[in-house]
Amino acid sequence: MSVVRWCALLAAASLVTACGGGPDGAGGGQQAASASPIPDTSAIVKAVQKDPQVAAGLPAAITQAGKLKLASNIQSAPNNFYSADGKTPIGFEVDLAKAIGAKLGLAVAHEDMAFGSLITSLQSGRIDLTMAGMNDTAERQKQIDFVDYFQSGITMMVRKGNPDGISGPDSLCGKAVAVVQGTSHQKYAEEQSGKCVAAGKGPVTATATDSDTQNQNQLRTGRVAVLLNDLPSAVYISKTAGDGQFFDVVAGEPINGGPYGIGVNKENKGLSEAVRGALQALIADGTYGKILDAWGVQSGALKQAGLNGGK
């Protein structure tokens, strides 16, 4: 799906009243006409200064390039999504990535790709980092390293008023759910389906796509009973889509809670340590907290930037 069509589809489906954001890519002036305006975080990001001590640990090739090639699956507000121009990435992950780059004295070049291609692109050296709401898990740690930056978990989105009576994992039995291809949501749906069948109940029928927007349309039109999403995205979408009239979030603790991680090639330990050091410096100086507060996701804040902390 082209980036221009992303906002067009949202508007056509009336999922949001506007796609907001500023031309500087840091959540600038234009606001979405919804219950949760796009924050102006440009001053927060621009105030970040290079930390020479942290930057000294960067691999020489990265320093010489002067930039970090960072890939995301850019479609998940408030993590990362496109501003009104249809091509400028914004979101709390985008702001954090730029702030990390600034601490290291580097620009950040975002690349949009399918979620399922992120790990292989890291392994091949096509990109330096990935930051896309990817859960740091023990299984993924076998393939790449993670610098942990946020705490989240799987949350169930339902149609407004919860007409299918979804109350928790057990109520997914016999239901159709929407997930994004290659995510921990898809794996969880498969695992839960197995539990349902073992208990003599109907399986969970998972529909996997590469588009969270398509999944929202499936939920809104009743083709699925549940959309499995991460906590920040589920809360944001439920508040903003249709001015808060389209979706609800099922109450309860997030499922399989754990950290989001910035992905790094396992052979690039120097870059992992430099990114971790930059993030820790942002936590210490308050920039990290300011960014999360601005986007309304402070509940997922970490006190320490860890390495491979997922289980």
What does the domain layout of the chain look like in residue ranges?
A: 41-152+257-300, 154-256
Reply yes or no on whether the pLDDT at 28 is more than 70: no
Tell me whether strands 81-82 and 89-90 are parallel, antiparallel or unpaired: antiparallel
* pLDDT for residue 225: 98
* pLDDT for residue 102: 98
* pLDDT for residue 211: 87
Residue that is written with structure tokens 């610098």 in the block: 147
Higher-confidence position of 33 and 90: 90
* pLDDT for residue 181: 92
Residue 223 carries which side chain, given as an amino acid letter?
R
Peptide bond into 78 cis (omega under 30): yes
Q: What is the CATH number of domain 41-152+257-300?
A: 3.40.190.10
* pLDDT for residue 174: 98
Confidence of residue 159 (pLDDT cuts 50, 70, 90): very high
Mean pLDDT over 8-37 rounds to: 31
* pLDDT for residue 218: 97
Per-residue pLDDT of 248-303, as tens digits, reads 999 888 898 899 999 999 999 999 999 999 999 999 999 999 999 999 888 889 99
CATH topology of domain 154-256: D-Maltodextrin-Binding Protein; domain 2 (3.40.190)
Confidence of residue 6 (pLDDT cuts 50, 70, 90): very low
* pLDDT for residue 240: 87
* pLDDT for residue 164: 96
Per-residue pLDDT of 223-256, as tens digits, reads 999 999 988 889 888 988 999 999 999 988 889 8
* Residue 288: how many other CB atoms lie within 10 Å: 27
Mean pLDDT over 1-23 rounds to: 30
> Across all residues in the chain, what is the average pLDDT?
88
Same fold, 41-152+257-300 and 154-256: yes
Residue 291 carries which side chain, given as an amino acid letter?
I
> Exposed, middle or buried by CB within 10 Å (0-12, 13-18, 19+), for 138?
exposed
Per-residue pLDDT of 94-131, as tens digits, reads 999 999 999 999 999 999 999 999 999 999 999 999 99
**What is the percent of the chain where pLDDT is above 70?**
88
Per-residue pLDDT of 188-213, as tens digits, reads 999 999 999 999 999 999 999 988 88
* pLDDT for residue 37: 66
Tell me the C-alpha distance between 168 and 196, whole Å. Answer: 13
Reply yes or no on whether the pLDDT at 22 is more than 90: no
> In sequence order, what DSSP letters do the residues of 223-286 get, joined into one string?
S-SEEEEEHHHHHHHHHHGGGGTSEEE--SPPEEEEEEEEEEETT-HHHHHHHHHHHHHHHHHT
